[in-house]
Structure 1
Amino acid sequence: MKPDILCIGSVLWDIIGRASSHMRSGSDVPGRITRLPGGVAMNIAMTLINFGLTPAVLSAIGRDAQGDELVHEAAGLGIITDYLYRSDDLPTDAYMAIEGANGLIAAIADAHSLEQAGTKILRALSDGTLGSDTVPWSGLVALDGNLTRDLLADIAKSPLFTASDLRVAPASPGKAERLLALVGHPSATLYVNLEEAGLLCQTTFSTATDGAAALSQRGVHRVLVTDGGNLAAECLAGDICTAQPPEVLVTRVTGAGDTFMAAHIASEVQGMTRQAALVRALNAAATYVSGETPS
């Protein structure tokens, strides 16, 4: 089966501790701890499945028990796992986060195997399986902005991506500047929050509209900027559209940006206008943070 979209980046186990009370450094409170398939590429793929698309994941997963279980879970959801790089030497990655009623308290991402695998995760795009230097993949690509600086730079100039519609997922603020490698790429769409937009422009913005306009002026082909429950903006070739997210009770935050991006991509694949796609993506993200499953 040919995938509708390639999701390139982290596929790992999310271990999330959630408490209903406000937390601070050193808090010790009751709550729930869950382990679920996660990582930027996996989160996007799972949301795309909910919207009726067939994604494939390109990532690094160990040949350990955790990796076997993760691949089984992904395949059971309908995600194509045939193109994963399975390593005998590297363990399956994991992400651990603590969330309180006041949002994300702390998180640790152990993505060392993905980082060490490097360009090996792209081999299906170069060996003729999905594409090659001379006949590159011509479809959608959802790219994890948390990939290493070197790998993002390689992708930005690689002939393997010259024909693709490249959608770049939110990076963590600490890694946002890695996305600078994709500024000027002719088909790259960046999905960032207001803080990340400011880091990319080495300043701060008070609104998503300002951030989107500034990134467009810097040479970003297309950009979507979110700002929590405040107005979000999308800018394409200098033309800006905006939308207001619905008000919801926030019960989780990890994965909200990935859900927003996946919903936006699916909406455009299904023929929605720019404005309608932005609104639907914001609604999907709001549904997700409220604890429901967007569709």
Structure 2
Amino acid sequence: MTKVVVVGSINMDLVVVTDRFPAPGETLSGERFLTVPGGKGANQAVAASRLGANVSMVGKVGRDAFGEQLLVGLQQEGIDTRHVGRTDVATGVALITVSGGENSIVVVPGANHALLPADIAAADALLAGADVILTQLEIPLATVAAVLTSAARHGVPVILNPAPAQVLPATLLQQVALLTPNEHELATVLGCPGADMASLLPLLPGKVVMTHGKNGAWHARADGTLYHQPGFAVEAVDSTGAGDTFNGALATFLPLGVEAAMRYAAAAGALSVTRLGAQAGMPRRDELRAFVGN
């Protein structure tokens, strides 16, 4: 079992399904409303746990009903929540509109922004015992930097999913084992808006696995060559959580090597879009093995 520690956000997703996205100032009648667990950190933790990893979560939720529900939900997924703290700040929420297999999202961070470097110091022994650490940018950048510093001290690889994207300092990027953006996020992270992947991927050789939706993912090898993992053809219902599923799978299977892990990650991401909901669509290990054929 891969020991994965996920440091990141825990949200309640408030999901509306409509036949089309509303225009500015327009009111539409929705088809369905769902309240489902989310947050990039929690989503990635659930994805890894369902795929067979031994997962621990480091995060923050509020002392409110959403926080309690989310904690119980993580525990029911077999995730160690001893380092998920409670705070007086409201639990983070994401407002998600889904239409035609696509989505638009507004995130209110809430308690996620109360996850501070001191919390990382308190979890140092947990991080030291990990095989892989997985983190994102829905928590403060100073906290992400603290994770990378701790991981470097203990020799543990860190996968950073740079979403929501922002320009990242070169010193931070050098500490990352793998960066997992999409094309837009990679351009933003590197401060090269509008640049295409052919020019971006070689800038961080050996450190980038770039997702490309139904087209799969690309890896910039250390020798400068590019490896392409094709996507898996499925009928998309809801793309919410597909990237998180990819990241959770990548962390779970990383001990097999980056390119082998990318195959499982692309397959898991494809399976996740065939069902409604971020965590609800995440596959389990047996389902993934059957889908990829081994």
The verdict on a shared fold, with TM-score over 0.5 as the criterion, is: yes
SS of aligned partner of 1:259: helix
- 1:282 equivalent in structure 2: 266
Percent identity between the two aligned chains:
20
Structure 1, unpaired ranges of 5+: none
Instruction: Give yes or no for contact 1:224–1:235 (8 Å, CA) kept in 2.
Output: yes
RMSD: 2.5
- 2:160 equivalent in structure 1: 168
Rounded Cα–Cα distance in structure 1 between residues aligned with 2:269 and 2:263: 10
Give the deviation of 1:15 after TM superposition: 1.4
Matched residue count: 274
Rounded Cα–Cα distance in structure 2 between residues aligned with 1:116 and 1:42: 16
Give the deviation of 1:138 after TM superposition: 5.2
- 1:214 equivalent in structure 2: 203
Give the deviation of 1:198 after TM superposition: 1.4
Rounded Cα–Cα distance in structure 2 between residues aligned with 1:251 and 1:211: 31
After superposition, residues 107-256 of structure 1 pair within 5 angstroms as 107-126=105-124, 129-130=125-126, 136-137=128-129, 139-156=131-148, 158-159=149-150, 161-162=152-153, 163-172=155-164, 175-178=165-168, 182-185=172-175, 187-201=176-190, 202-207=192-197, 209-216=198-205, 221-237=206-222, 238-256=224-242
Rounded Cα–Cα distance in structure 2 between residues aligned with 1:225 and 1:212: 8
- TM-score (norm: length of structure 2): 0.83
- 2:278 equivalent in structure 1: none
Give the deviation of 1:260 after TM superposition: 0.6
Give the deviation of 1:72 after TM superposition: 1.2
Instruction: Give yes or no for contact 1:137–1:160 (8 Å, CA) kept in 2.
Output: no
When residues 231 and 50 of structure 1 are mapped into structure 2, their CA distance, relative to the original with a 3 A threshold, is closer
- 2:289 equivalent in structure 1: none
SS of aligned partner of 1:83: strand
After superposition, residues 61-140 of structure 1 pair within 5 angstroms as 61-87=61-87, 89-101=88-100, 103-105=102-104, 107-126=105-124, 129-130=125-126, 136-137=128-129, 139-140=131-132
Instruction: Give yes or no for contact 1:17–1:33 (8 Å, CA) kept in 2.
Output: yes
- TM-score (norm: length of structure 1): 0.83
Give the deviation of 1:168 after TM superposition: 0.8
Structure 2, unpaired ranges of 5+: 276-280, 285-294
Rounded Cα–Cα distance in structure 2 between residues aligned with 1:259 and 1:102: 16
Give the deviation of 1:178 after TM superposition: 4.0
Given residue 214 of structure 1, which amino acid in structure 2 is its aligned partner? Answer: L
Given residue 263 of structure 1, which amino acid in structure 2 is its aligned partner? Answer: A
**For 1:108-164, what per-residue CA distance to the aligned partner results, in whole angstroms no more than 9, with x for missing partners?**
2111322134224314324xx536xxxx445311112232233334444x3454321
